[in-house]
């Protein structure tokens, strides 16, 4: 009992540190997911509708990024970019690396969703005189969005987990903050558990939100 009280007491003492770390984790993840999704949509559109040249370039990009460990991307973004004169701080470099990683996954999700739509949909849209742009906006994209929502939510949760890797370049997100706290009070088991719990809460929230949107946008059948 006194152990628990002691733990709670330590949490209370470290509350601002924990909240700061949590806030940073959420900001990193949100920025990476947002930027990665926007970039990923462009990647997916290029892979689906681009000409052979664009398609090849983007294909190399996605295959390269997806074949590289995220940790390597984070380190490369931080150390290599500064070596070639692009000066990003650790936070910016980290978010960039995660966004790039996210974009390659979202790109594949978008491509898969668009290609899964039966050809008859495009033909029917053409047959009533819709241009390609109109067909895309009214017919293809709304169907693709519904199709890719579950996988996209999964990717978003992956990004939250990947944000812990920014601790290695000194971004004081939740994991690094937790390690700081542990180095002071040596309660490693308890505080790693707390961190794990907080990550779970974020990802569970994302998942519930995804399910909610899925329900809201479901087509009646």
Partner 1 sequence: MSDCLLEISGLRKFFGPVEVLKGVDFSMREGEVVSIIGSSGSGKTTMLRCINMLEEFQGGTIRLDGETIGYEETASGRKRKSETEIARQRALTGMAFQQFNLFPHMSAVENVMLGLVKVKKMGREEAREIALKWLERVGLAERAGHYPGQLSGGQQQRVAIARAIAMNPKLMLFDEVTSALDPELVGEVLQVIKDLAADGMSMLLVTHEMRFAYEVSSRVIFMNQGVIGEQGDPKVMFNAPQSERLAEFLKTSSFV
Handedness of CA 10, 11, 12, 16 (dihedral sign): positive
CB of 119 to partner 1, least distance (A): 9
CB of 146 to partner 1, least distance (A): 7
> Residue 123: enclosing H or E segment and its boundaries?
helix 119-127
* Nearer residue to partner 1 within complex by CB, 57 or 218: 218
Would you say 74 and 94 are in contact if contact means Cβ atoms under 8 Å apart?
yes
Give the Cα separation of 198 and 54 in Å (integer): 41
* Nearer residue to partner 1 within complex by CB, 17 or 139: 139
* Nearer residue to partner 1 within complex by CB, 142 or 196: 142
* Nearer residue to partner 1 within complex by CB, 59 or 146: 146
Dihedral, 150, 153, 158, 160 alpha carbons, nearest 10: -170
* Nearer residue to partner 1 within complex by CB, 20 or 126: 126
User: How is residue 219 annotated by DSSP?
Assistant: P
CB of 44 to partner 1, least distance (A): 19
> Where does residue 17 rank: exposed (0-12), middle (13-18), buried (19+ CB within 10 A)?
middle
CB of 138 to partner 1, least distance (A): 6
CB of 203 to partner 1, least distance (A): 28
Give the Cα separation of 208 and 196 in Å (integer): 18
| Positions that interact with partner 1 (CB under 8 A) | 118, 120-121, 123-132, 134, 138-139, 142-143, 146, 219-221
């Amino acid at each position: 009992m006194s152990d628990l009280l002691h733990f709670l007491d330590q949490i209370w003492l470290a509350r601002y540190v924990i909240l700061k770390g949590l806030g940073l984790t959420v900001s990193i993840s949100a920025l990476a997911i947002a930027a990665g999704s926007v970039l990923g949509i462009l990647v997916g559109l290029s892979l689906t509708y681009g000409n052979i040249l664009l398609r090849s370039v983007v294909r190399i990009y996605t295959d390269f990024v997806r074949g590289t460990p995220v940790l390597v991307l984070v380190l490369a973004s931080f150390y290599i970019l500064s070596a070639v004169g692009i000066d990003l701080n650790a936070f910016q470099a980290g978010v960039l690396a995660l966004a790039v990683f996210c974009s390659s996954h979202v790109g594949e999700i978008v491509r898969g969703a668009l290609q899964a739509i039966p050809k008859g949909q495009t033909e029917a849209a053409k047959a009533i005189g819709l241009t390609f742009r109109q067909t895309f906006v009214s017919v293809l994209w709304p169907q693709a969005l519904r199709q890719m929502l579950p996988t996209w939510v999964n990717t978003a949760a992956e990004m939250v987990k990947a944000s812990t890797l920014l601790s290695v370049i000194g971004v004081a997100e939740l994991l690094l903050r937790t390690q700081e706290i542990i180095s002071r009070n040596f309660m490693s088991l308890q505080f790693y558990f707390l961190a794990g719990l907080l990550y779970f809460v974020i990802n569970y929230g994302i998942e519930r939100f995804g399910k909610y949107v899925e329900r809201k946008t479901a087509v009646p059948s």
